[in-house]
Amino acid sequence: MAVGVFDSGLGGLTVLDAVTRRLPDVPFVYFGDNAHAPYGVRDADDVYRLTTQAVSRLWDEGCDLVILACNTASAAALRRMQESWIPRDKRVLGVFVPLIEALTERNWGDNSPPREVAVKNVALFATPSTVASRAFQRELAFRAIGVDVEAQACGGVVDAIEDGDFILAEALVRSHVDALTRKMPAPDAAILGCTHYPLMQDTFQAALGPDVKVFSQASIVAESLADYLTRHPEMIGSGTVSKFLTTGNPARVSSRATQFLKQQITFESA
């Protein structure tokens, strides 16, 4: 009865930590494509190819439902996968929609026409590929009108976090926030559109100021997944063992992951 969680690297561990706390009885199989990280600088076809390979591997582990805990994969590959690749008995869900539903205060499955919402000016911080895809703006337009989105491609932040260089990551975050606020001086809300970024949430908040509400994905995705499995219990797959898989060096990835979550994490080769 396992559920798969996929990310290009370690960022998805923030989502995994939240969903395992929310659903402690569900086994989760985490797949990190560390050998090919980061995805944020790859083109859409490359992201699609790597993402479908990873999802297929998680299906082999008995995960009929896979969460793309990777905004780049959700933005660049998910729609194409849903339209032409995913079989009827499998599901692959992204991380954008739960975040947008929280931002616009719409319930899961609310398919009513888009309407005006409380927020008017939204700052989006994401990888270059996610920003280029405009997937966030597309999904937001299905649910809200009258919202101005200013996107900032945060080059270098994922690499710094994956390397454990949080001093550099903090400096880059402050630089990217400064660049965005020169274009949008007074955002109402900010979206951290990468699952690595919750580790830098305090830095984003400090740079943006206390009046900007910062939306981070981990807890939001966890609640959405719990709701989804309540409504679709048949999508909990046949897998029974929690594990961590990586395309990278298991010892090195395990060490980084242990530092990342501040608990012992042991990866094995995918």
Active site residue 154: no
Q: Is 201 exposed, middle or buried (0-12, 13-18, 19+ CB in 10 A)?
A: middle
Active-site choice (194, 199, 220, 222)? 194
Strand, helix or coil at 69? coil
Catalytic site residue 70? Answer: yes
Q: Which of 50, 70, 192, 229 is catalytic?
A: 70
Q: Per this entry, what is the length of the chain?
A: 270
Instruction: Report phi then psi at 65, rounded to 5.
Output: -115, 130
User: Any idea which residue has 């609640």 for tokens?
Assistant: 223
In the chain, DSSP assigns E strands to: 3-7, 28-32, 65-68, 91-93, 115-116, 121-126, 144-145, 148-153, 189-193, 213-215, 243-246, 268-269
Sign, CA dihedral 246-248-249-255, equals negative
- DSSP label at residue 14: H
> What contacts 34, CB < 8 A, 6 or more positions away?
8, 9, 10, 246, 247, 248, 249, 253
Residues with a catalytic annotation lie at 70, 194
